[in-house]
Chains A and B, each alone.
Chain A
Amino acid sequence: MRFADAAPGLELPELRIELTHELLAAYAGATWDFHRYHYDADFARDVAGARDAFADGQMLGALLARQLMAWSAPEGWVRRLALRYRSMAFPGETLLCRGRVTATRVAECEDGRASGLVECELSVATEDGRDVVAPASATVELPA
């Protein structure tokens, strides 16, 4: 992706994630997070009133960052990411990560280089339409 091609209104390719116990456990492991919420369904039910183990909120941000980095590859960088968590996400659910360009501008960096900034609005929802992360937004930096 080049900055010149990122026009307001452009939709990012949708990222579809099948949530599984393996994914939750793998992310918990990769982030050194041993909380039982992420792999112990009985504990999540008894302590948090959840119907199963559930995804760490920051994992959903990491998935949005994966989507943004793939879209803006190989020179793009996620400069800002803002997330508001709406509901828990459980194994067996399919998550849809969506995004759209809302604005673009050129800014000058400290070293004098020109940098293109692409503002995006994002969301994570289940396939059946429940908001999981909303609203969410990001700024992607690309060489201008």
Chain B
Amino acid sequence: MSQQPPPSPPPPPPLGSQPGSLLTEELRGWIGREALYEAPEELGRAAIRYHALALGDDNPLYRDEQHAGGTRFGGVIAPPTLVVETNQYSDLPTRPEDGYNGHAWEGLPLPVPCSLVRGGNEYELLQPVRPDDRLHVRWRIEEIAERQGRAGPMLVLLAVAEYRNQRGELLATNRDTTIFLPVVAPTGDEAGA
């Protein structure tokens, strides 16, 4: 994550100090920030079939129009969690340092250098995505909180994504939790954490 120097006012307190030290006013100011990405074309059958193939999934709902047409779905649908993989329609350039090419809160003002760990996801999948859907997603920072982890204080960021198609129908929501763990310097006071 960001290795930029801490903001000048106020200077960040040392790690391991009282709770509240990581959640600066500047960081709190990012709550409510949004990012919007829109796919430039329809999802397409090939993307659906490849997604199933990559998972070793031979379910005919994802590839066989005749089979899928005879079910309540009425035609081929995408595997349930395809829609929450934002990279496919974020259309972002590849980041040279790690190859990442998806959504990130670039410039998030972390008061100390942190490593990023995925906490969890909760998906509501309101209706199946279909080959002719053109997807867009709106990400929003819902909450940033400081919690006490096993190794000391950490930041927990809850972002909520809403996925819609070209008719504006809400297809899915995703509550995504990311944990930011301060990188402890070798000379710090938390050795062995």
Chain A residues with CB under 8 Å of chain B are 17, 23, 26-27, 29-37, 40, 43, 47-48, 57-59, 61-63, 65-66, 68-70, 73-75, 77-85, 143
Contact = CB atoms under 8 A, between A and B. Distances in A.
Contacts of A48: 115
Contacts of A27: 54-55
B98 A43 contact: yes
A30 B57 CA distance: 13
Contacts of A23: 54, 56
A26 B81 contact: no
B118 A81 contact: no
A68 B115 CA distance: 33
21 contacts: A27-B54, A30-B47, A31-B51, A33-B102, A34-B99, A35-B98, A35-B102, A57-B118, A58-B81, A61-B81, A61-B121, A62-B81, A62-B82, A66-B56, A66-B57, A68-B80, A69-B79, A75-B72, A83-B121, A85-B118, A85-B120
Interface stretch (B16-24, B27-35, B84-92, B106-114): B84-92
A80 B84 CA distance: 12
Interface in B117-136: 117-126, 128
B120 A58 contact: no
B187 interface: no
Nearest to A38: B99
Interface string B90-102: 0000100011111
B116 to A, nearest CB: 9
Contact of B101 (A33, A75, A83, A143): A33
A65 B56 CA distance: 12
B88 to A, nearest CB: 5
Contact of A73 (B61, B81, B94, B101): B61
A73 B84 CA distance: 22
A62 B123 CA distance: 11
Interface string B59-74: 1110000010001110
Contacts of A78: 80-81, 125
Nearest to A61: B81
B50 interface: yes
Given A62-B81, A78-B80, A85 B54 contact: no
B87 A32 contact: yes
Nearest to B62: A69
B139 to A, nearest CB: 15
A34 B67 contact: no
